[in-house]
């Protein structure tokens, strides 16, 4: 397990994961734990500092989230953000009240203690992002203001003697212009974190841990064709060689040409023996008549595991199942990090069914997508695979609104490949995080030649992101959008209308289902 430098206690903020992102970008390793984590459990991880995240609640709510008071006695530097600041204020004897003016959005930060180490290299009067309705009215004894904003006389406070700092604003969001510097200063200057967390160190450590855990057993690794599972397979092959049984399941929900591309990379480029399980009929028969997106995901997840188990029975000595679970999958799927709300289930999160006699191996569970790409390059995977856009485990099933059937899958594949081809030709594929087509199963009237049509609508989704936790729609040139639309309508029989999705995450998710 990676040595933890900073622990982030999650009080339910939508931005909690961004705290981890900003620190990792500064080569500082941290973990997110639930707000109720006991001080003794934090101490076991031997961190050098603790951050209390923001949250949607008020410290005076009947069921307000509280930190274990012993956390304050660990002798570790502490940084509170928004709710975390209010929690600190109340816990140390100060007071918090409902603000007359809800402060949401950009504010100018006026630093009144520029020599404070948390503001090292920070300029005065820079923009920060506020998001609060409560405010600290009276400071606890020993605390003082170190920065203010027009509406917040206590925009940042500190008790230097106790090494406790707190911000009313969110330094972790991009809108806070020098927030990343403040987080780095807290970790480096105040907590004394000097270790630099790098991907090559993580890779070597994981390979060692995999070898120790697997011993002389065998590992079944499910390949979806995406970056995550491909990196897991390459990592396992590096660690245990022929003890790996990599299985690529053709579930009938893949993009056009996907199976052939995966076979080439693993069998030809990496020389990794690949088992291909053709389960198209099984998946499609079980999805027949199913329209609910959560039900689709669960059916696909259960069927994947079943196919893997069937394949495992053909090989002696398999004791482990490997998956490409990432940190955002964990965060969005199960509320392990405190009170954060579950967004959607992932087919590869939450452990194995009781009837499966495998131990789970998830070497990427601590990583974000961009970190996984770096690991892939370290392992020698081709850039064309490492830099592929994310592709969901349930595949095209969650990009078809309503029932999944062969005819709609064929229709969607043709539209999707046109979109990707045009993005690659224009250079926008590498400039964007994810792009795909969605078959809406909404028909509308159109005209082709002299004939009236009543055909399907495709929605195009192209987003920009760093790690997929937040995303904005890509501002593609109009002539590119026009070319994509014209080609899809002209070349794909059954589609007569193309629309472009201009929603961002949040409030929307990246995928439609």
Check 30, 31, 82, 414 and give the catalytic one: 82
- 30 classed as catalytic: no
Task: Tell me the longest C-alpha to C-alpha distance in the chain.
Answer: 81
Taking a C-beta distance cutoff of 8 angstroms, is the pair 260, 276 a contact?
Answer: no
Other CB atoms within a 10 A radius of the CB of residue 382 amount to: 15
Cα separation of 124 and 499, whole Å? 44
Check 30, 132, 170, 332 and give the catalytic one: 170
Cα separation of 90 and 73, whole Å? 16
Cα separation of 201 and 198, whole Å? 5
- 82 classed as catalytic: yes
- 170 classed as catalytic: yes
Taking the alpha carbons at both ends of the chain, their separation in whole angstroms is: 34
Residue 130 host element (H or E): strand 126-138
Taking a C-beta distance cutoff of 8 angstroms, is the pair 128, 107 a contact?
Answer: yes
Taking a C-beta distance cutoff of 8 angstroms, is the pair 458, 488 a contact?
Answer: yes
Check 172, 238, 311, 332 and give the catalytic one: 172
- Sorted by sequence, the CB contacts under 8 Å of residue 156 that are 6+ apart come out as 109, 111, 118, 145, 146, 147, 148, 165, 166, 167, 168, 169
Residue 160 host element (H or E): none
Q: Which sequence positions are flagged as catalytic?
A: 82, 170, 172
């Amino acid at each position: 397990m990676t040595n933890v430098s900073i622990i982030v206690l999650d009080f339910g903020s939508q931005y909690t994961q961004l705290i981890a992102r900003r620190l990792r970008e500064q080569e500082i390793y941290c973990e997110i734990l639930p707000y109720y984590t006991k001080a003794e459990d934090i101490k076991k991880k031997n961190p050098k500092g603790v951050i209390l995240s923001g949250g949607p609640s008020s410290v005076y709510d009947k069921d307000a989230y509280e930190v274990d008071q012993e956390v304050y006695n660990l002798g570790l530097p502490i940084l509170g953000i928004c709710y975390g600041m209010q929690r600190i204020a109340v816990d140390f004897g100060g007071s918090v009240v409902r603000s007359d003016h809800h402060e949401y959005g950009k504010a100018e930060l006026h630093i009144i203690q520029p020599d404070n180490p948390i503001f090292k290299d920070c300029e005065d009067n820079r923009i920060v992002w506020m998001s609060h309705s409560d405010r600290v009215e009276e400071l606890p004894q020993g605390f003082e203001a170190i920065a203010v904003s027009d509406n917040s006389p206590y925009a940042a406070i500190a008790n230097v003697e106790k090494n406790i700092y707190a911000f009313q604003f969110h330094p972790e969001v991009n809108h806070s212009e020098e927030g990343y510097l403040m987080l780095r200063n807290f970790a480096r200057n105040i907590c004394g974190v000097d270790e630099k967390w790098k991907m090559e160190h993580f890779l070597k450590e994981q390979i060692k841990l995999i070898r120790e855990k697997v011993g002389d057993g065998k590992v079944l690794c499910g390949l979806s064709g995406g970056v995550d599972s491909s990196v897991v397979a390459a990592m396992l092959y590096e660690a245990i060689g022929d003890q790996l049984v990599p299985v690529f399941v053709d579930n009938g929900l893949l993009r056009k040409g996907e199976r052939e591309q995966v076979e080439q990379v693993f069998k030809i480029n990496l020389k990794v023996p690949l088992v291909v399980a053709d389960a198209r009929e099984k998946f499609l028969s079980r999805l027949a008549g199913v329209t609910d997106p959560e039900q689709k995901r669960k059916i696909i997840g259960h069927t994947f595991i079943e196919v893997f188990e069937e394949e495992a029975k053909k090989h002696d000595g398999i004791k482990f199942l490997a998956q490409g679970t990432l940190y955002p999958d964990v965060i969005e799927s199960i509320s392990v990090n405190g009170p954060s709300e579950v967004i959607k289930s992932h087919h590869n999160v939450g452990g194995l069914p009781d009837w499966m006699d495998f131990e789970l191996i998830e070497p990427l569970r601590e990583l974000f997508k961009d970190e996984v790409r770096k690991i892939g390059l370290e392992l020698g995977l081709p850039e064309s695979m490492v830099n592929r856009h994310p592709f969901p485990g349930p595949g095209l099933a969650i990009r078809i609104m309503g029932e999944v059937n062969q005819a709609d899958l064929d229709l969607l594949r043709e539209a999707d490949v046109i979109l990707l081809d045009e993005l690659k030709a224009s250079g926008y594929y590498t400039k964007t995080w994810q792009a795909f087509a969605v078959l809406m199963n909404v028909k509308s009237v159109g005209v082709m030649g002299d004939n009236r049509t009543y055909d399907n609508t495709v929605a195009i989704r192209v987003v920009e992101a760093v790690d997929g936790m937040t995303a904005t729609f890509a501002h593609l040139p109009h002539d590119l959008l026009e070319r994509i639309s014209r080609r899809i309508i002209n070349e794909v029989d059954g589609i007569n209308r193309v629309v472009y999705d201009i929603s961002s995450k949040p409030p929307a998710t990246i995928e439609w289902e």
